[in-house]
Amino acid sequence: MKLIVAVDKNWGIGKDNKLLVSIPADMKMFRQETTGKVVVLGRKTLATFPGGLPLKNRTNIILTGNKDFKAKDAVIVHSIEELLEEIKKYPSDEVYCIGGDSVYKQLLPYCDTAIVTKIDFAYEADRYFPNLDEMPEWKITGRSEEQTYFDLEYEYVTYERLSCGRNRKKQCKSEKTVTEKKDFIPEHSGTKSFFKTLYLISWIHPSGASMRPIWMPVSVS
């Protein structure tokens, strides 16, 4: 499962059940990323949508503890266990957690990819997303060039969990292009030399923004 979220400098995501800011390009990216896919959200997040209706052209799964809650054109689940059983019906990379804050926190252990719009401004917020930069199991694997909306600066950052899913050792995978590069580097301690193999990892973000390539050392022999 993936998650998609927009955060400010303090990882704030909302105030008074509203987004901190609405950036048209970010909204477009969200639509492109989730249309035709499955979105998982809470009841309060659903209430913030136009007319309180599920998003069109997506399978909406609502996680709520309210046993009496009903929503047209949506699947209702009442526990994490019920949700995990329900999403088995879909490819895992087509399921997106989209909030709100309590749902993000409950489902974060089950997500392997986080698509984060990081806004370079500190808003007044009362809802926050966990700071992935302080969580060693999450690593940045892609970062867009700086984007602007009037005087507001933001970027798209992709995080991946080092181990996919809860208590699993399987390495996370993502779509990427790999270019091999070998550099001849002399060994400082003697006459021997060795090759360090590097791989240029690059991504194209769903918004169309190019992600900064990252040279990663893979092996030394």
Q: Per-residue pLDDT tens for 97-125? A: 999 999 999 999 999 999 999 999 999 99
> Which pTM value belongs to this model?
0.74
| Amino acid at the residue 141 | T
Q: Which residues of the chain have pLDDT under 50?
A: 165-203, 213-221
pLDDT at residue number 78:
97
pLDDT at residue number 170:
40
Domains defined for the chain, CATH in brackets: 2-161 (3.40.430.10), 177-220 (no CATH)
- Please tell me the total number of residues recorded for the chain in this structure: 221
- DSSP, collapsed to helix, strand or coil, labels residue 70 as coil
- Provide the edge-to-edge strand list for the sheet that holds 18-19: 18-19, 12-15, 127-128
Is the peptide bond preceding residue 100 cis, with omega within 30 degrees of 0?
yes
As beta bridge partners, residue 194 has: 185
